[in-house]
């Protein structure tokens, strides 16, 4: 008897990000990032509830008392099917959305099993380094920026001056920026959206060679899930902002010196990743509204097979009761 075809959650998950992206895109440029985020959360949660998974949110919108929906520890799915851990960012780039700027995505990652997706708790920032498949295994977060750039240049058969490094435009990344400029590599600053920036390091159709700098911890886990599917590498270290966060790390036995690898962040061998463009950008086009029809642009990945699928979907709003309705077939 032939083996049964193993279920791929990818199409289920991309419907979740489509729902969230369409809801958030209604708030593009309206100056209210909280409303954009809440619309995406509501849509994402409604659709997650319909999936035949037994899931728990490990990277969500915050603690239960801070986030009434998609909070850390919330159970999602019907309770039937695969046991999974879930990381979500209903809108990676809420400020971008509120200002109508490019680069915002709706993102979800799912890992089969339990205890296999890193949860940083109250430590919201990490020092990060991300590269694509050519340079995977060649970098070290502890190494000086000059050494890292030279190793990546060698792996990619480029001159250091031809490399492009992407960083969040924040004062906390000033030392990285100075070091990169000293070595003569090119820099691309971004306001927000470092999940897409990390993914760009593993895409052959971009000029991005490396992501460096300090950014959000949840985004690091989501980016690690995508890079695991793409053959790239993520290295991170927790970066406490103040004494309170250092005390939290000590209380919970979190090693502030440990370099967290891709497998530390997402340990499952069966990882799914999906993202849908909200405002559009270099990676995915944004939501297009045209009367009763809406077009979304998404990507679906799976680590077990290494498959990466890009998908355009055309939604007929006349057949939907509301923009955040969970059925997006």
Residues 273-304 have pLDDT tens digits of 999 999 988 889 999 998 789 999 999 999 99
105 and 62 share one domain = yes
Q: What are φ and ψ of residue 112, in 5° steps? A: -70, 135
Domain assignment present for 15: yes
Look at residues 245, 265, 285 and tell me which one is the last residue of a structural domain. Answer: 265
Domain assignment present for 205: yes
158 and 236 share one domain = yes
Nearest alpha carbon to residue 70 among 113, 33, 29, 16? 16
92 and 110 share one domain = yes
Q: Where are the beta strands (DSSP E) in the chain?
A: 53-59, 75-76, 82-92, 105-112, 125-131, 164-168, 186-190, 210-216, 233-238, 271-277, 288-290, 293-302, 307-316
pLDDT tens-digit readout, 199-245: 999 998 899 999 999 999 999 999 999 999 999 999 999 999 999 99
d(CA 329, CA 326) in angstroms, rounded, equals: 9
Half-sphere exposure of 26 (CA within 13 A, CB side): 16
pLDDT value at residue 63:
79
With 70 as the cut, is the pLDDT of residue 186 above it? yes
159 and 54 share one domain = no
d(CA 196, CA 191) in angstroms, rounded, equals: 12
pLDDT value at residue 1:
38
Question: Is the Cα dihedral 69, 45, 74, 89 positive or negative?
Answer: negative
Nearest alpha carbon to residue 226 among 197, 188, 187? 197
Question: Residue 6 — pLDDT band, cuts 50, 70, 90?
Answer: low
As for how many domains the chain has, the answer is 2
111 and 141 share one domain = no
| SS3 label, residue 281 | coil
Question: Residue 115 — pLDDT band, cuts 50, 70, 90?
Answer: confident
257 and 275 share one domain = no
Domain assignment present for 51: yes
Question: Residue 118 — pLDDT band, cuts 50, 70, 90?
Answer: very high
Least confident of 17-21, 114-118, 168-172, 232-236: 114-118
217 and 252 share one domain = yes
Look at residues 265, 285, 304 and tell me which one is the last residue of a structural domain. Answer: 265
- Residue 51 sits at the vertex; the CA angle it makes with 83 and 71, to the nearest 5 degrees, is 70
pLDDT value at residue 65:
67
d(CA 104, CA 285) in angstroms, rounded, equals: 10
Domain assignment present for 32: yes
Look at residues 244, 265, 286 and tell me which one is the last residue of a structural domain. Answer: 265
* Cα separations in angstroms, 298 against 240, 277, 301: 33, 6, 10
**Does residue 170 contact residue 214 with C-beta atoms inside 8 Å?**
yes
d(CA 277, CA 97) in angstroms, rounded, equals: 11
With 80 as the cut, is the pLDDT of residue 326 above it? no
274 and 227 share one domain = no
- CATH number of 47's domain: 3.30.540.10
163 and 74 share one domain = no
Question: Residue 48 — pLDDT band, cuts 50, 70, 90?
Answer: very high
- CATH number of 162's domain: 3.40.190.90
d(CA 35, CA 90) in angstroms, rounded, equals: 12
Half-sphere exposure of 182 (CA within 13 A, CB side): 10
* Cα separations in angstroms, 174 against 7, 115, 212, 271, 299: 46, 35, 11, 34, 32
d(CA 90, CA 97) in angstroms, rounded, equals: 12
Domain assignment present for 120: no
253 and 147 share one domain = yes
Domain assignment present for 129: yes
Domain assignment present for 244: yes
pLDDT value at residue 5:
44
**Does residue 124 contact residue 240 with C-beta atoms inside 8 Å?**
no
138 and 230 share one domain = yes
d(CA 308, CA 301) in angstroms, rounded, equals: 5
Domain with 104, as residue range(s), is: 10-115+270-319
With 90 as the cut, is the pLDDT of residue 170 above it? yes
Domain assignment present for 324: no
pLDDT value at residue 2:
41
295 and 239 share one domain = no
Q: Which two tokens stand for residue 155?
A: 């792996």
CB-CB neighbours of 224 under 10 Å: 32
Q: Model's pTM, two decimal places? A: 0.91
């Amino acid at each position: 008897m032939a083996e049964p075809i193993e279920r791929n959650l990818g199409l289920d998950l991309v419907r979740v990000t489509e729902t969230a992206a369409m809801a958030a895109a209604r708030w593009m440029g309206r100056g209210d990032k909280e409303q954009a985020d809440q619309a995406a959360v509501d849509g994402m949660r409604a659709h997650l509830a319909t999936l035949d998974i037994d899931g728990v949110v490990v990277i969500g919108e915050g603690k239960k008392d801070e986030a009434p929906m998609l909070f850390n520890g919330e159970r999602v799915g019907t309770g039937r099917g695969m046991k999974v851990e879930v990381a979500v960012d209903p809108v990676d780039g809420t400020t971008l959305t509120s200002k109508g700027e490019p680069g915002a995505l709706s993102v979800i990652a799912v890992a089969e099993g339990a205890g296999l997706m890193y949860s940083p708790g109250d430590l919201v920032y990490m020092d990060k380094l991300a590269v694509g498949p050519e340079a995977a295994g060649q970098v070290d977060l502890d190494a000086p920026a000059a050494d890292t750039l030279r190793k990546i240049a060698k792996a990619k058969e480029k001159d250091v001056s031809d490399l492009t490094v992407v960083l969040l435009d924040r004062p906390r990344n000033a030392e990285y920026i100075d070091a990169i400029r000293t070595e003569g590599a090119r820099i691309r600053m971004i306001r927000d959206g470092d999940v897409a920036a990390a993914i760009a390091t593993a895409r052959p159709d971009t000029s991005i060679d490396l992501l460096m700098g300090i950014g959000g911890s949840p985004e690091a886990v989501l980016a690690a899930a995508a890079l695991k599917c793409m053959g790239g590498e993520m290295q991170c270290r927790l970066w406490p902002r103040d004494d309170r966060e250092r005390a939290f790390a000590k209380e919970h036995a979190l090693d502030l010196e440990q370099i967290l690898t891709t497998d530390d962040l997402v340990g499952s061998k069966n990882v799914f990743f999906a993202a849908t463009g909200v405002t559009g950008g270099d990676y995915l086009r944004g939501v297009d509204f045209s009367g009763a029809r809406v077009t979304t642009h998404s990507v679906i990945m799976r680590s077990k097979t290494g498959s990466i699928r890009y998908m355009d979907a055309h939604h007929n709003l006349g057949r939907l009761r509301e923009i955040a309705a969970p059925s997006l077939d």
